[in-house]
Amino acid sequence: MTHSITTPPAGAPSHHRRVVLIVLALAVVGAIVATAAILTRGFGAASDPAAAPVVLVTQADFQPGATPPCLMHQTDQPNSAYEGGPDSRPPQQLTFLAYYTAVGKLPFCGGGPATDTDRTWAKLYVELTTAADNVSTVLG
């Protein structure tokens, strides 16, 4: 004769049945709480700036190790995902460092001088690498 976790064997003590029911009730409550948390906060959406969408602007097909023909202007300030420390997101940060290492000396795509936002990214690059010569186009 077989039995499931919800149906103890015949003749099992009544406390065994109670334990099974309590475990099942706790599992259901946990699932309800987790679902409510996801619905109210959004799956993967936190107020932490590091969880914000990627803000670094690169060529659409940029991969670390590649050398694009020009440097893209940045439209958003870097968030904590790029700044190192506990909120850092290594894939984002490494892409940022690889991009500026590859193109920081190149002219901007479409021309024009560096913006304040461009300079903020370049200063962060220097802060993390101490390689100011790699962002000479931006910093002058």
State how far the Cα of 95 lies from the Cα of 132, in Å rounded to an integer: 18
The answer to whether residue 102 scores a pLDDT higher than 50 is yes
Residue pLDDT, tens place only, 38-53:
444 444 444 555 555 6
In whole angstroms, what is the distance from residue 67 CA to residue 118 CA? 19
- The answer to whether residues 87 and 80 touch, using CB atoms and an 8 Å cutoff, is yes
Asked if 43 and 50 touch (Cβ cutoff 8 Å), the reply is: no
Global confidence as pTM: 0.62
In this prediction, residue 63 has a pLDDT band, given cuts at 50, 70 and 90, of: confident
Give the Cα separation of 99 and 114 in Å (integer): 16
DSSP class of residue 60 equals T
pLDDT at position 2, please? 60
